[in-house]
Amino acid sequence: MIDVDARLRPVTLDEWPAFAHAMHDVFAEEAPASFAERPSSVAELDRSLSMWEGDRVVATAGTYSRTLAVPGALVPCAGITWVTVAPTHRRRGVLTAIMRRQLTELHEQQREPVAGLWAAEYPIYGRFGYAPATREARFSGRTERLRLRPDVDLGAGRVEQVTAEEYRPAAVAVHAAVHRWVPGNMVRDDRWWDRHMRDDPSGRHGASARRYLLHREADGTVTGYAAYRVKGAWSDTGEPDGTLTVEEMRATGTPAYAALWQVLLSVDLVRTLKYPAASPEDPLRWLVTDARALHSTPVDGLWVRLVDVDRALAARRYPAPIDLVLEVRDPFCPWNDGRWRLSGHPAGGYCGPTDRDPDIVLGIEELSAAYLGGVPLAALQAAGRVTEVSPGAVTLASTAFSWPVTPWCPDNF
């Protein structure tokens, strides 16, 4: 049996091309030339992990230093990424060693109390305590059936097409104004905006270059933005049959949001709309005359893992008062295993160890799923994954863990 942990180490800048090639090879992808030659500006090589077999990379992983919006607060979050194991080294404990190293270092160094990742395959990460805490709605529909209701307020502003250079500073300001109110959103600094704005031709898949819209009020203030692409097509009878894909859309109010949609639903030669990374509660479904014409495919989004139960639960806010003892089962991170008294309210929270009898017993996976307020503990109880000890405790906890805004993460990393 190989000593995997002893062989895991950060990758160096000189080793990056081999690291990048190995990572993309597992995903059956060709690394973009710019990424294959040197890491992007958001990469943190000191937080990477690699395992080598001679001059060949057989395992990769990385961590981004991110900040996550949680109910009522912003919390440092370890963005887990680049996780691959070569087919020749599967079932040897390599992935388990990577996950344990990452979580142990976060705990021992008192870094981010929460970790998050995007799961390529659903069954993998639950055994390490991660759980899907946000969902996405992959919207699609035929534009001839998608029309705004006649009573929708479009305001007195205007929508204009702009260049990337005009778009970016305005979008940054709008994003900064809205992201903190949506659990699951990530803070974006200049490096992350650089990455977000990148538009490599190899990633367009036959569609146009990215196009940009801004919504301006009468006084010139920007209150909304949208980024989209169009892929032209023609039917067998010669009719236009293009597809418009919305990549991102944010606004500070309903009139700006509706005005942007009015433009997007009216683009010439387009017959199909796609919005693949929308919030499951996006207001678009309530803005159109025929909500059945807006088809929605729900998929899991950001997976969350509480690294330190006490710090993570104390960091968020609770819309209803709660004072309960949670008995948490966490065999993978034993420092979390035990009983925790959680006392919270709309202004803050406290969580610390206790020897009191538990009101609820649950695993770290279930607690992580509920953390952002989108997965009710009552639903997990109905699935047999949460045990209520004190009568009414699950109802109380479900209410306190909930949040008025549906969790949503538009930042895939």
Residue list, annotated binding site: 83-85, 91-96
> CA–CA separation, 227 vs 210, rounded Å?
7
> CA–CA separation, 314 vs 53, rounded Å?
43
> CA–CA separation, 80 vs 101, rounded Å?
12
> CA–CA separation, 21 vs 36, rounded Å?
7
Residues classed as catalytic: 125, 413
**Pure H helices in 154-294:** 164-178, 190-197, 254-264, 284-287
Q: Which of 213, 252, 204 is nearest to 232 (CA)?
A: 204
Q: Which of 333, 258, 271, 308 is nearest to 115 (CA)?
A: 308
Residue 93 Rama label (left phi>0; alpha psi -120 to 50; beta): left
Element (H, E) at 367: helix 364-370
Give me the half-sphere count of Cα atoms (radius 13 Å) on the Cβ side of residue 291: 7
- CB of 371 within 8 A of CB of 115? no
- CB of 317 within 8 A of CB of 73? yes
- Token code pair at residue 189: 């600094």
Give me the half-sphere count of Cα atoms (radius 13 Å) on the Cβ side of residue 190: 0
Q: Which of 267, 259, 261 is nearest to 231 (CA)?
A: 267
- CB of 313 within 8 A of CB of 306? yes
